[in-house]
């Protein structure tokens, strides 16, 4: 290459090097009529931008659910009504000192007065006292029945969903057979066998025997989904016992739909007890309950509607609170349902 050509090539390389070092100069040469602005170089590294505090606690399902629940007015309304119902059932003497079984016929259908804000029923019993004390039987039946249903249905559903195969087929057929029996009709027929020995625990046992298949199906589906997760596979690879895997990994991660169903079912079982008592096959007449008072008040609906209104209103408000709680808990534990 001649010396002149070599010198021109060297000059071009120097110019291109200067242009590369100074982008503004390059822009002026390429587009002389336009202004070019170059932002300052950000010296903050990606490591500092993406850094996460190591001392922060990891977010859990229950933590996120609580953050969602405490911002929902519906949750607090339902929680207050449920708490009030439980306190009323456990400590009725805090609200009234009147014996609900003390009646005077001279007060039959008497209007409200001081100390008796709801008036009297046909037998001259204080309606307010009976409404307060009636919560005990109904709430106890609901709580105990829900507890037994969760235990029985949860055990059947967990075993069927985890082991699969013959165990799943056998337990699923048992669930289907009991699920096919009409719930209230079966309870009425069985309660007829205990005419002379009806107690709260008799009603709880009968309702639990026929009420567990629904939660068993829900638990089975949740367990079948959870057992395929990576942490369960890792536990199996580490050689953990199957029962330890069920208790440590499967049940805690499949319990969310069970809690949602149990919350709604509690109100359903309260209604079931009231239905049995209304039909005369539930709790005996000497036990104060909302269903029994509603049954006795149906004959006086025209002349004294308040006799029916107060126990029915207490029953409806309590059941509604559990249904509202179940809806808001479902939204908190199931983000997919919340987005819908």
- Asked, for residue 298, whether it belongs to a domain, the answer is yes
**How far apart, in whole angstroms, are the C-alpha atoms of residue 43 and residue 34?**
28
CATH, residue 210: 1.10.3720.10
Instruction: Provide the domain count of the chain.
Output: 1
- Asked, for residue 272, whether it belongs to a domain, the answer is yes
* DSSP structural state of residue 235: H
pLDDT of residue 316: 93
- Asked, for residue 28, whether it belongs to a domain, the answer is no
% of the chain beyond a pLDDT of 90:
39
**Other beta carbons less than 10 A from residue 70's beta carbon:** 10
pLDDT of residue 55: 57
- Asked, for residue 180, whether it belongs to a domain, the answer is yes
β partners of residue 120: 126
pLDDT of residue 269: 93
pLDDT of residue 332: 86
- Asked, for residue 280, whether it belongs to a domain, the answer is yes
Tell me the pLDDT of the chain averaged across its residues: 82
Q: Which residues of the chain have pLDDT under 70?
A: 1-59, 61, 335-340
What domain range is 247 assigned to? 137-319
pLDDT of residue 334: 72
- Asked, for residue 306, whether it belongs to a domain, the answer is yes
- Asked, for residue 8, whether it belongs to a domain, the answer is no
What pTM was estimated for this model as a whole?
0.77
- Asked, for residue 185, whether it belongs to a domain, the answer is yes
**How far apart, in whole angstroms, are the C-alpha atoms of residue 55 and residue 34?**
51
Name the phi and psi angles at 125, rounded to 5. Answer: -90, 150
**C-alpha R_g of the chain:** 35
**Which are the contacts of 27, defined by CB distance < 8 A and separation ≥ 6?**
34, 36
Length of the chain: 340
Are 102 and 115 in contact by the 8 Å Cβ rule? The answer is no
DSSP string, 50-85: S---TTSPPP-HHHHHHHHHTT-HHHHHHHHHHHHH
Residue 22 three-state SS: coil
């Amino acid at each position: 290459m001649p010396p002149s050509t070599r010198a021109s090539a060297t000059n071009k390389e120097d110019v291109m090097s200067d242009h590369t070092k100074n982008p503004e100069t390059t822009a002026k040469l390429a587009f002389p009529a336009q202004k070019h602005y170059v932002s300052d170089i950000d010296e903050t590294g990606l490591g500092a931008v993406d850094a996460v505090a190591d001392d922060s606690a990891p977010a859990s399902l229950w933590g996120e659910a609580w953050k969602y629940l405490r911002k929902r007015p519906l949750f607090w309304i339902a929680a207050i009504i449920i708490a009030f119902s439980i306190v009323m059932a456990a400590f009725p003497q805090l609200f009234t000192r009147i014996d609900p079984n003390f009646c005077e016929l001279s007060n039959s259908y008497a209007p409200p007065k001081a100390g008796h804000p709801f008036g009297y029923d046909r037998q001259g019993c204080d309606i307010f006292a009976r409404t307060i004390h009636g919560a005990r039987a109904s709430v106890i039946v609901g709580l105990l029945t829900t507890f037994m249903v969760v235990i029985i249905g949860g055990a059947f559903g967990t075993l069927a969903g985890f082991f699969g195969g013959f165990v799943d087929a056998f337990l699923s057929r048992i669930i289907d057979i009991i699920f096919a029996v009409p719930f209230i009709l079966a309870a009425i027929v069985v309660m007829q066998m205990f005419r002379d020995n009806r107690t709260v625990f008799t009603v709880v046992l009968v309702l639990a025997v026929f009420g567990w298949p629904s939660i068993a199906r829900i638990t089975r589906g949740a367990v079948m989904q959870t057992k395929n997760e990576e942490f369960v596979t890792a536990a199996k690879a580490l050689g953990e016992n199957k029962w330890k895997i069920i208790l440590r990994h499967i049940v805690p991660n499949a319990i969310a739909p069970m809690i949602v169903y149990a919350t709604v079912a509690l109100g359903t079982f309260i209604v079931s007890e009231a239905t049995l008592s209304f039909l005369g096959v539930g709790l005996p007449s000497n036990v104060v309950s909302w269903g029994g008072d509603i049954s006795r008040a149906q004959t006086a609906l025209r002349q004294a509607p308040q006799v029916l209104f107060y126990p029915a209103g207490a029953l409806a408000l309590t059941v509604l609170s559990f249904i509202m709680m179940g809806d808001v808990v479902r939204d908190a534990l199931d983000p997919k349902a919340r987005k819908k």
